[in-house]
A and B are shown apart, each in its own frame.
Chain A
């Protein structure tokens, strides 16, 4: 089989439909690549037998004319935050030691039902807390991209670092991600992939290990915008088991990918210009606006005045929710337990040893901002600012269709950089967090490469439930950028 990185969901699905390749053949090739690519540390758990079984079942369906659509038979990676029945699920944490769910998350179940073939569970930052995939209990993930003329190991971004490493490294055709403050879009930008986070509530959170409930959203990581649309269509559903699930059907996003950008009003938020931002990123951003103009879109400078407060707001809300969501990991019903003489000692030892440093830091911050005497000053204040941030967007989307911004303030950086300063690390999410706080759909599309040949992404954001517009703009941008670089 040729370069596995040539396959997209669309091309593989076509080829299977035409009988040029079977799912078992594709799956075997990707299993071999997964095994050969272990140095990336993209997978925590490989599930080759399960994959072959599902691939064979897919071929059987196709033979009988019962293929279930474009995801049927496609080998994918599953972020190890989705609970998978009978397959160890870790959230990259020691505290979930040997946890084997007896249930399947709605998102992974939807993909399974659509015929997707799970190759294994991909690595991530512990409990999805991180932007470099360096906090995993199972070790950090290597970015398949390396800077030209150097051999430094780069981080793949995070928290969906294993998923992007798998797809960009040719170990899977696509993969699932979850995005709380940018964990799909930022790693996509670091690896030259498309990463899409839908409107909050499009993908059910049922069965996905929670980080911050009001922000967590699953989404696809793919090579192309069209693939993202195909995969999102399979992942999204209205789920009565998730009270925050949107009770409406996702529009046909794949069809939206065929429409051009003519007449779109594209907003450029001036507050996204940061002091000290690499020139190349500013240049790419300008270039993006230029492409849209050339395609007949209208460029409008807009203002989102509360942008600079998004990151500190996020770093109150997300840890607060996390501190409570992670309270269930107590060594009583599942996962790691460290015995103690008393119940409290058992809790303290279990959680002190079971959680890594970054998770502990966030749980402590979250506990602090919710505690008596501080709740109003921090948590309530942050939720008020969050309202203002959401209102900023609402006002803007009365005027423009889509916003264009950089995805991340830098290209992938070397392992070891930014490690000792949590705030410098948090700044990775400066462009992605605002849309997360407002629950808006957003996508990162590869736009070009920097002077070291490393990929840079551009982000598009639309209003609530405006995924059609988002995909329309994204595929236009993708076409204009014509990104073809490979690691």
Chain B
């Protein structure tokens, strides 16, 4: 799926790399015992360490290391048993220490891979360059006072995993697929909640363009802190087009940091210029290098859940689903769990169908996600079971499903209460068939005269007369033998 921008001089290719900051799920901060909960009052979740009081020192949160290693394993990445925290020095109002403790030359996780599931059911691998741990900064609030910015350090020191991709992404769609897949993996692992609205996942997008077929990379621009999948895709779109415009006008794209403005649908250069930065990284002398052994990695490995790619393969190979359906079902952990529960002991393909068409459609209309579904996984499975054993027809099943959405009742109970059980007794069906034929002599003559197609009309009439409960196969057989036999 090549995404090309048509310029005046020809086609251009977009080259994209993503740096995702994912907040690791931990109770306390990376280097202090202050809580990481969302929504506390200003400066409440702050320790004296986070506020960089004189003499305060960092101590590593073991869970942060664990979550990074767990994520690294989920990204099929190299785990570095020796890693170093370094200081990234710069001044900013919400950076209390005057440096961010981050990892630079020796990150805890090295190269890995994320497999994208594309819309056409195909897959594509995107390389991961590294994953490193670092502290988040605080928050500057600019709109409370005309002359001042207000600083809240609640987020200062929260654990971030910065996941850097290789420049392997070639379109906004792939970037979207990458973010969704990465988020799915993090959620499966339980290492990040992936909530972009609350800022627990943010992306810096590196964009460059080059004439189609060119090998070398051109200057890249970093679009900072984009906070939704949709905005990332839009930002790439407009930034790539801007760059094509610059090159084609004979200009030069400058390496800079830009911000995406979703309201105006454009990117603009940040006022704080990058050239003034010289981060002066050096190993943090307040911390020793991090070392762990294979046992530590093995212990974490033993707790890993089945990940989306493995699950998808199992759904395809063992359960007979299409690559597309399998991809959709594993996209998030809750859906996959729901599916597996519903499909337990049932026909998996039928369950998959009901889930992806009927249930997803209904939930979409209700504005609910699968965790809030009025139809439980067990009930959906039961419904498929009722179809399979011919207690109800597929058509009746649709009515039952509507009722399930409204009442959350078990399908068996609904069928019982409303008397929707399919009629399979040949005698009972024959009586209705005979009655319908007797009531419509003209149409019957028409069929007998050779108009086969009109038999469909009779099927409809019989089903209607049986309130949909007659077994459609049997009805068809009886009508054929009586009218054409």
Contact = CB atoms under 8 A, between A and B. Distances in A.
Contacts of A101: 53-54
B288 A328 contact: no
Q: Is the interface of B mostly helix, strand, loop or mixed?
A: loop
A332 B52 CA distance: 11
Contact of A241 (B54, B57, B149): B57
Contacts of A105: 55
A206 B57 contact: yes
Interface string A356-386: 0000000000010011100100010000000
A287 interface: no
Contacts, number: 97
B278 A372 contact: yes
B87 A243 contact: no
A103 B280 contact: no
A101 B55 CA distance: 10
B151 interface: yes
A96 interface: yes
A143 interface: no
Given A91-B54, A103-B53, A327-B99, A241 B59 contact: yes
Contacts of A243: 57-60, 286-288
Contacts of B98: 324, 326-328, 330
Interface string B154-185: 00000000000000000000000000000000
A371 B282 CA distance: 10
Contact of A206 (B56, B60, B282): B56
B253 interface: no
B64 to A, nearest CB: 14
A2 interface: no
Interface stretch (B89-97, B193-201, B359-367): B89-97
Interface in A73-129: 83, 89, 91, 96, 99, 101-103, 105
B285 interface: yes
Nearest to B147: A341
Given A324-B282, A347-B91, A370-B280, A242 B54 contact: no
A328 B55 contact: no
Contacts of A103: 48, 53
A205 interface: yes
Q: Which 5 A-B pairs have the closest CB atoms?
A: A327-B98, A370-B280, A213-B285, A214-B285, A207-B55
Interface of A: 83, 89, 91, 96, 99, 101-103, 105, 205-210, 212-214, 240-244, 320-321, 323-324, 326-328, 330, 332-334, 343-344, 347, 367, 370-372, 375, 379
Given A101-B54, A243-B288, A334-B53, 14 more contacts: A83-B53, A83-B54, A205-B286, A208-B55, A210-B55, A243-B57, A243-B60, A244-B287, A327-B97, A332-B93, A332-B151, A333-B51, A371-B278, A372-B278
23 contacts: A101-B54, A206-B56, A208-B55, A213-B286, A241-B57, A241-B59, A242-B57, A243-B60, A244-B285, A244-B286, A244-B287, A321-B285, A324-B99, A326-B98, A328-B54, A332-B93, A332-B96, A333-B51, A333-B52, A333-B53, A333-B96, A370-B281, A371-B280
Interface of B: 48, 51-60, 87, 89, 91-93, 96-99, 149, 151, 278, 280-282, 285-288
